[in-house]
Amino acid sequence: MIENSVINDIRNGVDIVDVISNYIPLTARGKNYFGVCPFHDDHSPSMSVSKEKQIYTCFSCGATGNVFKFLQDYENISFLEAVKKCADLAGIPLEISNSRSKRDEKYQEYYEIYEISQKFYQNNMHSIEAKEAKNYLLGRSLNDEVIQTFGIGLSLNVPDMLTKLLKKKNYSDKVLLESGLVGEEQKGMELYDLYRNRIMFPLEDVQGRVIGYNGRAYHGEATNKYVNSKETPIFRKRELLYNYHRAKEAARVQKEIIIMEGPMDVIRAYTIGVTNVVASLGTAFGKEQAMLIRKLAGHVILCFDGDAAGLKATKSALEELGHLGIEPKIVRLEDDMDPDEYILKRGKEAFLRKLEQAMNPVEFKEFQLKQELDFNNTLDIANYANAMIDEIKKMQDDTLKEVSIAKLAEETKLSIDFIRSKVGTSEKEKIEIPHPKKEKKKLTKCEKSEQNLLFYMLRNATAIKMYDKKITHMPTDKYRKLGFQISSFFRQYGYIDMADLLTELRDDAESVATIGEISMLPLKEDFEEEELEDYLRNIKEYNELLQMDKYKQELKRSQDYDRKIELAQKLVSYKLRSEEENGRN
């Protein structure tokens, strides 16, 4: 276990603004920095990052934390792994043992099975039976180094070779069947290997653990060329991008990510030095994949296959990325070729030129329409102009919008003023029109006082000392809990720091969320002690009112004469004290 003092030293050794800006673009605005929150569907800068307090808060979804929390949620790693990342950045030596999340522990057997299967398939690639498969890969210009880098293996043409190996390791039939590697002819019958006689491309999660396979036929069989693993407890196609864990560093350095369809496309790109590339595995590009892409880079290039299916995938990806405010560039390959074929036939330089000349979404729409329309036909020209105007409306870059308007005017011989009038209000402007907000619950004077007091307790020892001296109890459950936690932290460490407190409360989601709520209050940083006295007085009065109400209820119910006298005296005493205090005020 790492001591808190060491953890806090590591956190202080990095700047949260520097770390987060490696993942999402941040823009300085006043004292804070703002960016698009990666933890919910968003396309406007709603995340505030404070250099002074070393925390971030999203004004839209409420995500709150320090640098450790950001790395945990963004990279889907454990707290200790996040601490280790920061230690490495700060140049602080730190050794940690492997830690697993609750999800990892729950599905540990499945991860183990895939680790065993991966070693098994890779060993097969070194066997005599692998000669034909090796020749196939070498014939496609994939050498031993590439095979090793991507962990490419082989399932032999034997019915139950892997199944027997896994059974020897005492995995239950239920787990084996759910793993996606083993099947059964009929219920209760002998188990068998689902993958046979295929080249096995391992599919890894964001942490690089094998969770599935893409099995490729290599004999020219009439069966499916590729077979992906079925959905399992650890494998969800819609949440996966092939090669994500290898590509993420290159994508962040180059600030660009290229999306293709299949493993062979990605591997081929690697052979010519293009490493910021992932693949969607031929599935419909979905919301989860779009969110993963947004975490990698702001600039995106879509390079799907040149056939009709690739065109459909391109449109799907454009739509999903568009929801997140990302405008990708698009590469369309001629002669229905996929990137693998194109690089093999046309070469590295031709492919790199394709990437450099990638189309923006409006140029892509223009390209599509020009394939279908006759520019000698007046009606086709009108249809083209209307379609392009719709596309220009969606553009978020004003400069690009003006260039596109001028280009469309030149192509169609329509006046720029006419096109500009048709473009009208942009989609960007429409998006920014505020929607009716849900009516917020009206806060009582006491609740406002609790919030404001906590705001200053999170920043100043004086506020904590006044709280400890005057009340030590807040009526609202979540505020009472946070007040106690702040006070306890101060008593234990002798100081208050919001970022360090977030580390202490990392497993308490409610309190972390409450800190986020409180940190967003539009209050000034400095305060007069009289203000705090007012907050404390309001809270104290409310507490006393609650107590008096309890006495009244008990007075009504009580059958004990002495107790009734005692309660009545308490009520009278409270009334007299209140009148006296009101008179002074």
pLDDT in tens, 442-475: 888 999 999 999 999 999 999 999 999 988 778 8
More confident residue, 251 or 543: 251
pLDDT of residue 433 exceeding 70: no
Nearest to 86 by CA among 72, 73, 106: 72
Contact (Cβ atoms closer than 8 angstroms) between residue 391 and residue 365: yes
Nearest 5°: the CA angle 261, 266, 272 is 140
**pLDDT bucket at 188, cuts 50 / 70 / 90:** low
Mapping DSSP onto H, E and C, the string for 304-360 reads CCCCHHHHHHHHHHHHHHHHCCCCCEECCCHHHCCHHHHHHHHCHHHHHHHHHCCEC
pLDDT of residue 58 exceeding 50: yes
Q: Is 297 helix (H, G, I), strand (E, B) or coil?
A: coil
What whole-number distance in Å separates Cα of residue 158 and Cα of residue 262? Answer: 26
Which residues is 204 bridged to in the sheet? 210
Do β-strands 153-155 and 182-184 pair in parallel, antiparallel, or remain unpaired?
unpaired
pLDDT tens track for 505-527:
988 999 999 999 998 898 998 88
User: Which residue is listed with tokens 């990806």?
Assistant: 317
Tokens of 393: 């409306």
pLDDT of residue 103: 56
H-helix or E-strand containing 226?
A: strand 226-228
Which residue intervals of 192-323 are DSSP H helices?
244-254, 263-271, 287-296, 308-323
pLDDT tens track for 136-162:
999 989 999 999 999 999 999 998 999
- What are the distances in angstroms from CA 85 to CA 122, 223, 246, 255, 350? 30, 45, 17, 20, 39
H-helix or E-strand containing 154?
A: strand 153-155
Contact (Cβ atoms closer than 8 angstroms) between residue 416 and residue 406: yes
What whole-number distance in Å separates Cα of residue 542 and Cα of residue 550? Answer: 12
Mean residue pLDDT of the chain comes to 85
- The crossing angle, in degrees rounded to 10, of helices 79-90 and 67-75 is 120
Nearest to 329 by CA among 292, 368, 303: 303
What whole-number distance in Å separates Cα of residue 258 and Cα of residue 329? Answer: 9
Nearest to 412 by CA among 387, 449, 439, 448: 387
H-helix or E-strand containing 365?
A: helix 361-372
- Give pTM, 2 decimals: 0.68
pLDDT tens track for 297-339:
778 999 999 888 888 889 889 888 887 778 899 999 988 899 9
Buried b (16+ CB within 10 A) or exposed e, 414-450: beeeebbebbeebebeeeeeeeeeeeeeeeeebbebb
pLDDT of residue 24: 83
Going across the sheet that includes 27-29, the strands are 27-29, 32-36, 45-50, 55-58, 64-65
215-222, Cβ contacts within 8 angstroms, sequence gap of 24 or more: 215/155, 216/264, 218/132, 218/133, 218/136, 219/132
**pLDDT bucket at 431, cuts 50 / 70 / 90:** very low
**pLDDT bucket at 430, cuts 50 / 70 / 90:** very low
Buried b (16+ CB within 10 A) or exposed e, 359-387: bbbbbbbbebbeeeeeeeeeeebeebbee
- List the domains of the chain with CATH numbers: 4-90 (3.90.580.10), 104-235 (3.90.980.10), 241-357 (3.40.1360.10), 364-432 (no CATH), 445-584 (1.10.860.10)
Nearest to 264 by CA among 217, 321, 328: 217
Which residue intervals of 424-560 are DSSP H helices?
427-432, 445-457, 461-470, 477-493, 498-504, 509-519, 529-557
pLDDT tens track for 72-118:
988 878 888 899 989 988 888 887 765 555 556 778 999 999 999 99
**pLDDT bucket at 248, cuts 50 / 70 / 90:** confident
Do β-strands 27-29 and 32-36 pair in parallel, antiparallel, or remain unpaired?
antiparallel
H-helix or E-strand containing 240?
A: none
